[in-house]
Structure 1
């Protein structure tokens, strides 16, 4: 009996072959129906390995130094013998759909490290699609034996929530700032952060970074304590990615939180909840795909849309009519 191509690819991934991992991620990123079927078979084939990595979601505003931090942090981890994968979502143009995908040029040292794997992926303007592709890429990286998977978000609000739903830890990277900037940070983002890392704590900015870190620590204390956190978490720490200081302390805090969650059963329950969430999300995405995939359904949507636009129908009743038609 001949071995299916995806079985061969799965075996190569389980051996930790980087080229096979890159090919597999390209496969799961494809929108073609035949590739989708192959990707599902591949994911099923590697699932039995039962390997787990520490998934760290990382977000921050543009200019905060995410790439510099990831490179310095990743080099520190590979220096300890850990295998590190970086999945960076690159914003796509809303007009052309193109992406620059420049993460490898911004992380030149880390991209040359044999223990590191960097994969930029285009967001293609659809966050739901990003969630599916990134989530499956994380699974492939775990199967390939990586110890830590860093998931860098676009940093546009909704993407943070999506990445937090596929991460074991969610890290919010912030720049030294004053009170006005602190007030501008959304409470929702603060509530999902496990660790706030104030970057650029060096040179003239160090005193500002110290005050900013204290401000964030005070703000975090005002939030309701979460059952999945030990005493003192979430917390704020300072680092300098350029001087490579504070990185070991930030990693120690992540390890402390991870160990506590494992010992107290929160790690497994969180992953189970996330798996259920993504199952439901896949069903929602599938229903939307069916809605746009049928010519008859598209025509019905266009007709009802015109009626709404001209004021002949209200949006709510028109939507109910469409749903009744779909469920007929």
Structure 2
């Protein structure tokens, strides 16, 4: 190759494509400005009350936010929606992983929309204790229900909240009710000792089981069964029908050993198949009977009042906890006390007392 020839580096950058002349710079700027624009609380409330799905989703995102700057606006949205809430029946659905909760909810939700119901599904996905991430794949698992115009599916990450319930699930229910959803289905992460968090925000608690699961959950079975208003043996199809029927008899016998419920309702045990849709209508009949009975006795509304009180106290406790850990003095001293405890230089109780004294001392100044 002749040295007189100019060599071109393979790393040379080529000229980019310039915007066509028809592109409006002002239009681009306007689009970018609108993307960043956040609707006001009044706009969100108006959209939610008019059943606008985008406004509802943005409102839920706002109340789920952990950013302290969003709290005031979120409270304003909740306050504006509250007079239009409390006109639904709230159903909690729980069960061990693999019991078929998502498939059941899709089948059950589709059945309810067929009756003219407006169904909101609040699905709580487990968060990783390591990465703190969540898959949020419920819309993928409920691919038919998600296309139903009378249904709304909102997956949320459980985070570090009690019983795998998203931190603001209670407020999300209010927004969904204000948007016109008359049936709220709350799918939990799974069965756990803290499942009482779900029980404390729903009217009807449904426990999904499968036959032949054995007694590996014996340690938590009693507590969950005492809370359940109905036990449904899922996957009662094919060769599993006989096993499901036997499981129904066993659970029926077990339920009679528990003390009577305050509502005087006797929990029912049924079988169903979310695949073949067998037994789905009977489950709704059970829930409707419960609703009618507890409404007539006044228990339904008394339970709602007790739940409101419970969540007021929970909110106070949560806010105190967040306020404590967000104090600069606590943040700076926490790590120091933590190391002292780990190195056995200070007892956990003494370290806690030091931090609490620092916190309350600051507040009393």
Bucket of the pairwise TM-score, normalised by the shorter protein: over 0.9
Q: 2:84 matched to 1:49?
A: yes
Whole-angstrom CA distance in 1 between matches of 2:50 and 2:147: 20
Which structure has more relative contact order (CA 8 Å, sep 6+)? It is 1
Which residue is 2:229 aligned to? 194
1:198-213 paired onto structure 2 within 5 Å: 198-213=233-248
The answer to whether the 8 Å contact 1:93/1:125 transfers is no
Cross-structure match for 2:276:
243
In the alignment, what sits opposite 1:277? 310
1:196 and 1:116 map into 2 onto residues whose CA distance is 24
After TM superposition, which residue ranges in structure 1, 4 or more long, deviate above 6 angstroms? none
Aligned Cα root-mean-square deviation (Å): 1.9
- In the alignment, is the contact (CA less than 8 A) between 1:182 and 1:216 conserved in 2? no
User: Which of 234, 237, 241 in structure 1 is aligned with 2:267?
Assistant: 234
Per-residue CA deviations over 1:280-301 (Å, capped at 9, x if unaligned) read 1111111111111112112333
Is residue 305 of structure 1 aligned with residue 334 of structure 2?
A: no
1:167 aligns with: 202
TM-score (structure 2 length as normaliser): 0.83
> 1:265-293 CA deviation, whole Å, 9 max, x = no partner?
11111111111111111111111111111
The runs of 5 or more residues in structure 1 that have no matched partner are none
Contact 2:159 2:167 in 1 (8 A): no
Match 2:357 to one of 318, 324, 327: 324
CA-CA distance at 1:105 after TM superposition:
1.2
Per-residue deviation, 1:178: 5.6
Partner of residue 65 from structure 2, selected from 12, 30, 38: 30
Matched residue, 1:126: 161
User: Which of the two has greater helix per residue?
Assistant: 1
- Which residue, out of 306, 315, 318, partners 2:348? 315
TM-fit CA distance, 1:95:
2.0
CA contact (8 A) 2:164 2:188 kept: no
- Any gaps of 5 or more consecutive residues in structure 2? 1-38
| Partner SS, residue 180 of structure 1 | coil
Aligned length: 323
TM-score by length of 1: 0.92
Secondary structure class of the residue paired with 1:305: helix
Residue 307 of structure 1 and its aligned partner are, at CA, apart by 3.0
Q: 1:82 to 1:93 in 2, by over 3 A?
A: same
